[in-house]
Amino acid sequence: MNKRTIKDIDVYDKAVLVRVDFNVPVIDGKITDDNRIVEAMATINYLLEKGAKVILMSHLGRPDGKVDKKYSLKVVSERLQELLPNNKVIMAKDVIGKDAKSKAEKLKMGQVLLIENLRFDAREEENDKEFCKELASLGEVYINDAFGTAHRKHASTYGVAKLLPNAIGFLIEKELNMICGTIEDPKRPFVGILGGAKVKDKIGIIESLLDTVDTLIIGGGMAYTFLHVLGYKIGNSLFDSTNVDVAKKLMKKAEEKGVQFLLPVDFVETPEFDDVVNYRYTKDANISDGYEGVDIGKKTIKLFSKAIKRAKTVIWNGPVGVFEKKEFAVGTYAIAKKLTKVKGTTIIGGGDSASAVINMGLANKMTHISTGGGASLKLFEGKVLPGVDVIDNI
Ligand code: AMP
């Protein structure tokens, strides 16, 4: 990698503006999963050790450009203080207002300032020039360590980087090394597993994975559009009518490239999406009229497991069923379990598949669990992340 990293930049006694991803789940005012905060600690601790004044910025949820207390980062600052018992953590009451500015000016070496939720100001997502300037005025050096938003061209992830000496932090460096390092030179067999709801969202990644993988496994709501093309009955299952031709083209490409394209051969079907009482297993890949497919069946679990067992590299993005309901999470959990047995590299794209693995307590059995769903998908697709691209080369 040729990007300047945090170790290549002088931070001693400097006000270092760090974009982190503190977009953590908060329920009833409590953080239910602090993984993203913990993942940012390597960069924060390093900066503090090197004598920097650390100014952190992040978004939380979707406050739609307006101040909304529900999305305040105050709760994050409290957790941060627990993780940094020897350093003072200060919370600003605004983003680029009077309070943030005066607290940034007064900040001392070894102290941490967290400014308020960036998305309290609509100009953040617009990458507004004035807003970028104001943000940049808070610090002297800029570090991007927010992998989860590195695929966005926002003020804090993109615009501000152009105005200050810049570098990527340890988390982004780790994510790039793990994901790009693996897909650029995979040990074979290389298996890709894709699930989730819509074909539309995954066309790019299917297309590019077909150039590199040996086997592509398709599960989740996406599978039915492909099965429809092959003449199966799909009942009321998710169907992407606008992408039928794309699905055909992708299967043709798999054939031409000699990629094994694995679709489910049986399902769990239910009359209504959220009916967890009247569900049943199908005999084959056909879904009954009046039913919809919500999980892969037992034969499919066996089929997918066989391919995974042989693999030396596996990347996975998207659940293979409606895993939010425990009755329909069997397939997704079976895949996660199987991945722990792989004698090779296992990379879990962020988002739902990462949650499934973490909820099962299998996180430490995977090679890497990405902290960014959208960003890891872009990397799987072979795309450049704007938040990384904007950082100067060494
Ligand atoms: P995505 O964001 O595209 O990865 O989609 C994740 C969502 O796909 C999850 O909320 C799952 O519940 C959903 N999903 C997975 N399988 C199915 C299915 N068979 N039918 C409907 N939704 C599904």
Reading the block at residue 135, the tokens are: 């943000």
Instruction: Evaluate whether 129 touches 121 at the Cβ level (below 8 Å).
Output: no
One-letter amino acid for residue 62 of the chain: R
Instruction: Evaluate whether 73 touches 22 at the Cβ level (below 8 Å).
Output: yes
- Ligand 1 pocket: which of 270, 333, 352, 355 to mutate (most atoms within 8 A of CB): 352
Reading the block at residue 137, the tokens are: 């005025």
Which residue is closest in CA terms to ligand 1's atom 4? Answer: 196
Distance 198 CA to ligand 1 centre (A): 8
- For residue 324 and ligand 1, the question of a CB distance below 6 A is answered with yes
Distance 216 CA to ligand 1 centre (A): 18
Distance between CA atoms of residues 362 and 44, nearest Å: 27
Secondary structure string (H, E, C) spanning 230-243: CCCCECCCCCCHHH
Closest approach atom of ligand 1 to CA 321: 16
Distance 380 CA to ligand 1 centre (A): 19
Q: Is 177 helix (H, G, I), strand (E, B) or coil?
A: helix
- For residue 274 and ligand 1, the question of a CB distance below 6 A is answered with no
- For residue 139 and ligand 1, the question of a CB distance below 6 A is answered with no
Quick one: the chain helix, strand, coil %, rounded to 5?
Answer: 40, 15, 40
- Which residues are marked as active site? 36, 198, 351, 374
- For residue 322 and ligand 1, the question of a CB distance below 6 A is answered with yes
pLDDT in tens, 94-117: 999 999 999 999 999 999 999 999
* Residue 236 phi, psi (nearest 5): -95, 20
- For residue 294 and ligand 1, the question of a CB distance below 6 A is answered with yes
Distance 230 CA to ligand 1 centre (A): 21
How open is the CA angle 305-309-313, to the nearest 5 degrees?
Answer: 115
Closest approach atom of ligand 1 to CA 219: 16
Instruction: Please report the pLDDT score of residue 179 as a whole number.
Output: 96
pLDDT 10s per residue in the chain (394 long)? Answer: 799 999 999 999 999 999 999 999 999 999 988 989 999 999 999 999 999 999 999 999 999 999 999 999 999 999 999 999 999 999 999 999 999 999 999 999 999 999 999 999 999 999 999 999 999 999 999 999 999 999 999 999 999 999 999 999 999 999 999 999 999 999 999 999 999 987 888 888 999 999 999 999 999 999 999 999 999 999 999 999 999 999 999 999 999 999 999 999 999 999 998 999 999 999 999 999 999 999 999 999 999 999 999 999 999 999 999 999 999 999 999 999 999 999 999 999 978 899 899 989 999 999 999 999 899 999 999 899 999 999 999 9
Distance 60 CA to ligand 1 centre (A): 23
Instruction: Please report the pLDDT score of residue 200 as a whole number.
Output: 85
Instruction: Please report the pLDDT score of residue 94 as a whole number.
Output: 98
